[in-house]
Amino acid sequence: MSKSAERRVGIFGGTFDPIHVGHLVTAVNARAALGLDVVKLVVANEPWQKVGGRAVTPAADRLALVEAAVSGCEGIEVCDLEIRRGGSSYTIDTVEELLRVEPDIELTLIVGADVVPNLTSWRSVDRLQQSCGLVVVNRPGSRLAGGQELAEQLAGWRYEVIEVPALEVSSTDLRDRAATGRPLDFLIPEGAIRVIAERGLYAQDR
């Protein structure tokens, strides 16, 4: 396969508890801005950063929400590798598994601005830097350092910052909305709202 024919794949990982428009707008706009063939929404099995705090919704439910949300959305896919692998989810394992199956793909990790300060604690970050580019998107409430400061935070990465529509929405807020009976409409795609209702998710949070 020639260099130009390589498939360009975006990896957008998250807990997606639940998925919301902030995730989808980011995925669609990162795909367009970078000319990616596909963006994979990688649903974490056990997000190690979040273990020990609140109970995370079972992975199968979070996966069903993402599936319902992206159905019919061109170029956006669900990836259940981390759930099938089980245990704690590390991006490096997912990246290496994807590259084993399809060695010619070019991978780009997509993260929101709030994730940037945590990147240094990711497992095998040096290997990730060898295998993937990085795209950072703006997120309301999370200041993104500029210029030299950002370059220092992201030392070792081939990175790019892209601007996406700023949507002040978070899964934390949506769980609270659901638990207190406030509307989820237009913050979460309709299909995923139906899954929440059918499975009785987020009603017991308080």
User: Is residue 64 left, alpha or beta, with left meaning phi > 0 and alpha meaning psi from -120 to 50?
Assistant: alpha
Nearer Cβ to ligand ATP, position 104 or 123?
A: 123
Distance CA 28, CA 114 (A): 19
Distance CA 14, CA 114 (A): 12
Q: Which residues bind ligand ATP (CB under 6 A)?
A: 14-17, 22-23, 26, 111-112, 114-115, 137, 139, 167, 169-172
* Residue number closest to ligand ATP, CB atom: 112
Least Å distance, CB 103 to ligand ATP, is 26
Nearer Cβ to ligand ATP, position 22 or 189?
A: 22
Nearer Cβ to ligand ATP, position 14 or 189?
A: 14
Nearer Cβ to ligand ATP, position 6 or 114?
A: 114
Least Å distance, CB 118 to ligand ATP, is 10
Residue 49: Cβ within 10 Å count: 15
| Torsion of the alpha carbons at 24, 25, 28 and 31, rounded to the nearest 10 | -110
What would the DSSP string read from start to end of 122-143? STTHHHHHHHEEEEEE-BTTBP
Least Å distance, CB 177 to ligand ATP, is 12
Least Å distance, CB 35 to ligand ATP, is 20
